[in-house]
Amino acid sequence: MAFKRSSMLIRMLGFCLLILIVHSANGDVSYSFPEEMKRGSVIGNIAKDLGLDVNRLAARKARIDTEGNRKRYCDINPNTGELTIAERIDREEICGDELSCVLKCDLMLEQPLELHRVSLQIEDINDNAPVFSKDLITFEIGESAVRGARYRVNEAHDADIAHNTVHGYVLEKNEHFSLAVSSNVYGRKYVELVLDKELDREQKKEVNLILTAVDGGTPPRSGTVAIHVTVLDANDNAPVFSQSVYKVNLPENSSLGTVVLTVSATDADEGQNGKVTYEFGRISAKARKLFTLNLHNGQISVTGHIDFEDASVYEMTVEGKDEFGLSSEANVVIQIVDVNDNAPEIFLKSLHTPVPENLAPGTEVGIINVQDIDTENNGRVKCSLQQNVPFKLIPSLKSYYSLVTTGELDRELVSDYNITITATDEGSPPLSSSKTVHLSVADVNDNPPVFEEQVYSAHVKENNKPGSSVCYVAATDPDWRQNGTVVYSLLPSDVSGAPVSSFVSINGDTGVIHAVRSFDYEQFKSFKVLVLARDNGSPPLSSNVTVSIFISDENDNSPQILYPSPEGNSFMTEMVPKAAQSGSLVSKVIAVDSDSGQNAWLSYHIVKATDPGLFTIGEHSGEIRTQRDISESDSTKQNLIVSVKDNGQSSLSATCAVYLLISDNLAEVPELKDMSYDESSSKLTFYLIIALVSVSTFFLTFIIIILAVRFCHRRKPRLLFDGAVAIPSAYLPPNYAEVEGAGTLCSTYNYDAYLTTGSRTSDFKFITSYNEGTLPADLTLKNVQSSFNDLEGLDVQLEDSSEQKPPNTDWRFTQNQRPGPSGHYTFQSNHLRWTSPRRLRAAATPEVAVGTGPWPNPPTEAEQLQALMAAANEVSEATNTLGPGTMGLSTRYSPQFTLQHVPDYRQNVYIPGSTATLTANPQQPQQALPPPQASGAQPEPPKAAQTPASKKKSTKKEKK
Ligand SMILES: *[C@@H]1O[C@H](CO)[C@@H](O)[C@H](O)[C@H]1NC(C)=O
Ligand SMILES: *[C@@H]1O[C@H](CO)[C@@H](O)[C@H](O)[C@H]1NC(C)=O
Ligand SMILES: *[C@@H]1O[C@H](CO)[C@@H](O)[C@H](O)[C@H]1NC(C)=O
Ligand SMILES: *[C@@H]1O[C@H](CO)[C@@H](O)[C@H](O)[C@H]1NC(C)=O
């Protein structure tokens, strides 16, 4: 409505203007009016203007003509003479951009023909709005465009002219662009968008704007266009990591391929600009070997063996990059977590080896260091030792331990130790390791040699070869080398007054004891040696042991016949009463053997007899008895040859002859010479005669000497032996020197008789060898055996046995059961008592007193005493009473010996040749007749004292 009103206003104005123009035209009329007037609108009254008569117009056929065929825009109203709009007049159509737009037409009148030019000036009105050529203008602007950048926009077009054309532009308000309008040289305006603020694709991908063009008309008109700006991406963003520091813990035993962590970075750019790849930035060469980084997904994984003990933390940077090289970094810290993968290690820092065995307990012998490179509990270590060793560990500084002894060491028990040290850490599971330390113990000489036996004894046969080995001793010393090397030696001592080294020697290395000389059982039966075993240590240790050496008997002595004298030298004749009945005791052969044991068991045999059936001899007793009653037809002279054998392995024997005279009267005795043994040689007879003569010659001398000796003996019995008797020295055992040529032996071999004051016991001690005549058994005169020498032999045994332990049971047995005089003798008189204590003890035991063997029982002491007393009486009686007519038999009686020295030959009480005793006591034969055992038990001392007559011959005296 407003628009209409204003258009009315414009018409009225145009009308006034038109009038003005018409008046100014010269002959011609011109009108000016705006375009776009309505048809019929009056432009002006042309009649008037031209002065024409309006009434006549019609008549005159007034009309408007146009040149050519041009469109007729106006018409004349013939009634009013007004000029009106016939057609729509659009100036823009008719004139376009021309600034003046004039339409020309003619007014024609007829009657008169008249022609008038009419100019129609068409004025512009703002009837067109500005118009843009496009509805939408698009731009693509990179986000990297800088401020001030201009982007031209096509201008808007307005068909109107002058003021009514485009006058200005308005841009929608926005933050990025402004508008710049300028005109070119032709005055044409153009529009540019100016970038006021950079674009950021990442913020705003596009910008939409409205541009409005406004014309200058009144009212103005406008036209708009949309501008679409697309923001193009530029690689303006670097990748960004999700964390600036990545921290992760990784167990050190992680296996290969374990993913440690994944880093990730993002890039705000799009497309290639936003594609991120990863790689290590700063990284140590060591870490590079252990870890890899996946280029595309950022995974860090393990590619090597990770060892906490090598490095506990790895630091590196990771770079994220986009396609065009923008990058950023992040730090990665990989902390390795310790796993108990290292066993403790044991180091031996010092060790004293070998250690002496006398080390005090608690002494340090070594230092040990233990290390575990793991951390915390995994590296905390405990040390221990195996059991059963005398050592312990004492912790000292930090990881150091002292190895000390806890007890005494003894090399002889344990000479070296393998000490196993075990170290265990406290990880879970715990790891442990062990080390063995070898410690040896050095020797100290702390053990003396020890003999294997406490006492040694050796038995050696007599007559051994000098140098032969006797026995050996052995001592052991557990110490080491020279501390345990045993050397043997003999401790100096005396054996029977001679140094022991003259008897035995010892091998220092082997301990074998050798005899230095040949031993003689009859000389001594045993001795003791002290052997010292010493080691070679310094100082040396030693011990000693006693070695008892027993010498055992060999059958090296043949029996010696005491009565009668051995064969060929006997002048003794036994008288046998004619009335003797069967079994009567006629005589007795007495023999001794200086050997001992079996070697001294004697047996008697008749080897030859005048009448073999008449006499028998007791095998063990030596008693000669009649086998049958004597008859008148028997020869008065009866000779027997008796052999005495010992019981040694190879037995030795001796023989003697017994002459028997069957007669009741000495007067009947035939010539002595005739009585000599049939087989005796003339030489023997000759010696016998000499002997008889000598005996007779010295008879009186003997009496005197005996009396003198007896006298002395009463006061001082010792005189009887001391130096008084010279012993033949023809035979001497080896190693014994004879003293001078005087025929006396050095004192060692002489008699020693002691009287002990405390008792009436005198030990008769005699050491000697035998007379030359005692050993051989041939039948020559030089073999004549003196009873004195026999006694000497007996005495040797007597003395020795008191000192010697019996070497075997055999010995003991024979002592008690032996027959005859070859054993020990207990002899007691008013003055002297010869005793063997051992014998006394042995006799007292029932076991030994019972004689089960073939040998007769030994006499009791009482019997012996009785027998000896009787013998003594008998002898003294005989000495006083016997006259020369007694065939010289009495010359053989030696009161000296019968009194004091005749040993107790139990059977000797029946002294042969004493017919007086046999006849004077008729009961006596009956007593003698029972077997030897019975007679041995004869209990009647008075009778026994009367019957026996002890007769002894002493060739010693003859030699004197
Ligand atoms: C690493 O050690 C731990 C503890 O000692 C154990 O539990 C785990 O199984 C081990 N891992 C590997 C891969 O050996
Ligand atoms: C100690 O070990 C050594 C060598 O292994 C061995 O010869 C020796 O017999 C061992 N000693 C002991 C007492 O076990
Ligand atoms: C023997 O013992 C001594 C200490 O008594 C010692 O010094 C020496 O080394 C030992 N000898 C040997 C070979 O062991
Ligand atoms: C023999 O050993 C004993 C101890 O067994 C000792 O008393 C004695 O002195 C030693 N004799 C010698 C001569 O060494």
Q: Place 11 in a pLDDT band, splitting at 50, 70 and 90.
A: low
DSSP 929: S
Ligand nearest to the CA of 342: 1
Evaluate whether 103 touches 73 at the Cβ level (below 8 Å). Answer: yes
Mutate to test the pocket of ligand 1, among 253, 254, 341, 377 (most ligand atoms within 8 A of CB): 253
Identify the residue whose C-alpha is closest to ligand 4 atom 12.
544
803 CA distance to ligand 4 middle (Å): 24
Q: Place 812 in a pLDDT band, splitting at 50, 70 and 90.
A: very low
Mutate to test the pocket of ligand 3, among 412, 444, 538, 541 (most ligand atoms within 8 A of CB): 444
Identify the residue whose C-alpha is closest to ligand 4 atom 2.
544
249 CA distance to ligand 1 middle (Å): 14
Which atom of ligand 4 has the smallest separation from the CA of 542? 14
Which atom of ligand 3 has the smallest separation from the CA of 446? 5
Helix residue ranges per DSSP H, 154-298: 285-290
Ligand nearest to the CA of 417: 2
403 CA distance to ligand 2 middle (Å): 19
Q: Place 318 in a pLDDT band, splitting at 50, 70 and 90.
A: very high
Mutate to test the pocket of ligand 4, among 454, 455, 529, 544 (most ligand atoms within 8 A of CB): 544
374 CA distance to ligand 1 middle (Å): 15
The token pair that represents 223 in the structure block: 């036209």
Residue 461 CB coordination number (10 Å): 13
Which atom of ligand 4 has the smallest separation from the CA of 543? 2
Q: In angstroms, rounded to a whole number, what is the distance separating the alpha carbons of residues 35 and 126?
A: 10
Would the CA dihedral through 851, 857, 858, 860 be positive or negative? Answer: positive
Ramachandran region, residue 798 (left: φ > 0; alpha: ψ -120 to 50; beta: rest): alpha
Ligand nearest to the CA of 454: 4
Identify the residue whose C-alpha is closest to ligand 1 atom 14.
253
Ligand nearest to the CA of 449: 4
255 CA distance to ligand 1 middle (Å): 9
Mean pLDDT of 493-517: 91
455 CA distance to ligand 3 middle (Å): 30
339 lines ligand 1 (CB under 6 A): yes
Q: Is the pLDDT of residue 467 over 50?
A: yes
Give pLDDT, residue 316.
Answer: 92
Give pLDDT, residue 10.
Answer: 55
739 CA distance to ligand 4 middle (Å): 38
Check residues 732 and 469 and name the one with the higher pLDDT: 469
Q: Place 667 in a pLDDT band, splitting at 50, 70 and 90.
A: low
Check residues 447 and 273 and name the one with the higher pLDDT: 447
707 lines ligand 4 (CB under 6 A): no
Which atom of ligand 1 has the smallest separation from the CA of 252? 1
pLDDT tens-digit series, residues 43-98 = 888 888 888 778 887 888 888 887 766 777 888 888 888 888 888 888 888 877 77
Give pLDDT, residue 878.
Answer: 40
418 CA distance to ligand 2 middle (Å): 6
Give pLDDT, residue 268.
Answer: 82
394 lines ligand 4 (CB under 6 A): no
Q: What is the dihedral of CA 195, 200, 204, 208, to 10 degrees?
A: 20
428 lines ligand 1 (CB under 6 A): no
Q: Is the pLDDT of residue 767 over 50?
A: no
Secondary structure element (H or E) that encloses residue 873, with its range: helix 861-881
Mean pLDDT of 284-299: 91
539 CA distance to ligand 3 middle (Å): 10
Give pLDDT, residue 113.
Answer: 82
Give pLDDT, residue 201.
Answer: 80
537 CA distance to ligand 3 middle (Å): 7
Q: Place 369 in a pLDDT band, splitting at 50, 70 and 90.
A: very high
- Nearest-10 crossing angle of helices 787-803, 837-844: 80
Give pLDDT, residue 783.
Answer: 35
Give pLDDT, residue 245.
Answer: 93
The token pair that represents 891 in the structure block: 């010359």
Mutate to test the pocket of ligand 2, among 389, 391, 418 (most ligand atoms within 8 A of CB): 418
Q: Is the pLDDT of residue 957 over 70?
A: no
Q: In angstroms, rounded to a whole number, what is the distance separating the alpha carbons of residues 249 and 247?
A: 7
Which atom of ligand 1 has the smallest separation from the CA of 340? 5
* Pocket lined around ligand 2, Cβ cut-off 6 Å: 416, 418, 438
437 CA distance to ligand 2 middle (Å): 10
Give pLDDT, residue 221.
Answer: 85
Q: Is the pLDDT of residue 726 over 90?
A: no
Mean pLDDT of 848-858: 38
Rg (CA), the chain: 88
Check residues 922 and 190 and name the one with the higher pLDDT: 190
The H helix count followed by the E strand count for the chain is 18, 55
For the ranges 548-557, 734-743, 788-797, which has the lowest average pLDDT?
734-743
491 lines ligand 4 (CB under 6 A): yes
Q: In angstroms, rounded to a whole number, what is the distance separating the alpha carbons of residues 357 and 408?
A: 7
For the ranges 31-40, 265-274, 465-474, 890-899, which has the lowest average pLDDT?
890-899
Mutate to test the pocket of ligand 3, among 355, 441, 445 (most ligand atoms within 8 A of CB): 445
- Nearest-10 crossing angle of helices 837-844, 809-817: 80
Which atom of ligand 2 has the smallest separation from the CA of 415? 13
Q: Place 273 in a pLDDT band, splitting at 50, 70 and 90.
A: confident
Q: Is the pLDDT of residue 161 over 90?
A: no
Mean pLDDT of 940-949: 36
Q: Is residue 864 classed as helix, strand or coil in its secondary structure?
A: helix
Q: Is the pLDDT of residue 3 over 60?
A: no
Q: Is the pLDDT of residue 348 over 60?
A: yes
Which atom of ligand 2 has the smallest separation from the CA of 417? 13
377 CA distance to ligand 1 middle (Å): 16
Ligand nearest to the CA of 411: 3
Identify the residue whose C-alpha is closest to ligand 2 atom 6.
418
Mutate to test the pocket of ligand 3, among 480, 485, 541 (most ligand atoms within 8 A of CB): 480
For the ranges 109-113, 121-125, 463-467, 892-896, which has the lowest average pLDDT?
892-896
Give pLDDT, residue 18.
Answer: 47
530 CA distance to ligand 4 middle (Å): 9
Share of the chain above pLDDT 90, in %: 20
381 CA distance to ligand 2 middle (Å): 27
407 CA distance to ligand 3 middle (Å): 20
Give pLDDT, residue 81.
Answer: 81
447 CA distance to ligand 4 middle (Å): 15
Give pLDDT, residue 672.
Answer: 47
Give pLDDT, residue 199.
Answer: 80
Of the candidates 138, 106, 141, 125, the residue with the CA atom closest to the CA atom of residue 33: 125
Of the candidates 78, 1, 84, 77, the residue with the CA atom closest to the CA atom of residue 37: 84
Mean pLDDT of 561-580: 73
Q: Is the pLDDT of residue 367 over 90?
A: yes
Q: Is the pLDDT of residue 247 over 90?
A: yes
Q: Place 341 in a pLDDT band, splitting at 50, 70 and 90.
A: confident
Q: Is the pLDDT of residue 548 over 50?
A: yes
Q: Compute the mean pLDDT over every residue in the chain, rounded to the nearest whole number.
A: 72
Mean pLDDT of 480-508: 91
pLDDT tens-digit series, residues 689-713 = 887 878 888 887 878 788 877 776 6
Q: Place 714 in a pLDDT band, splitting at 50, 70 and 90.
A: low
Give pLDDT, residue 91.
Answer: 82
444 CA distance to ligand 2 middle (Å): 21
Which atom of ligand 1 has the smallest separation from the CA of 254? 13
Which atom of ligand 3 has the smallest separation from the CA of 539? 5
Evaluate whether 868 touches 902 at the Cβ level (below 8 Å). Answer: yes
Identify the residue whose C-alpha is closest to ligand 1 atom 1.
253
The token pair that represents 692 in the structure block: 């008889």
Mean pLDDT of 159-187: 81
Q: Is the pLDDT of residue 764 over 60?
A: no
**Phi, psi for 655 (deg, rounded to 5):** -125, 160
Check residues 743 and 865 and name the one with the higher pLDDT: 865
Which atom of ligand 4 has the smallest separation from the CA of 491? 13
Mean pLDDT of 287-292: 91
Q: In angstroms, rounded to a whole number, what is the distance separating the alpha carbons of residues 586 and 577?
A: 9
Share of the chain above pLDDT 70, in %: 68
pTM of the model: 0.45
Q: Place 889 in a pLDDT band, splitting at 50, 70 and 90.
A: very low
Q: Place 572 in a pLDDT band, splitting at 50, 70 and 90.
A: low
545 CA distance to ligand 4 middle (Å): 8
For 76, half-sphere exposure in the C-beta direction (CA atoms, 13 angstrom radius) is 25
142 lines ligand 1 (CB under 6 A): no
253 CA distance to ligand 1 middle (Å): 6
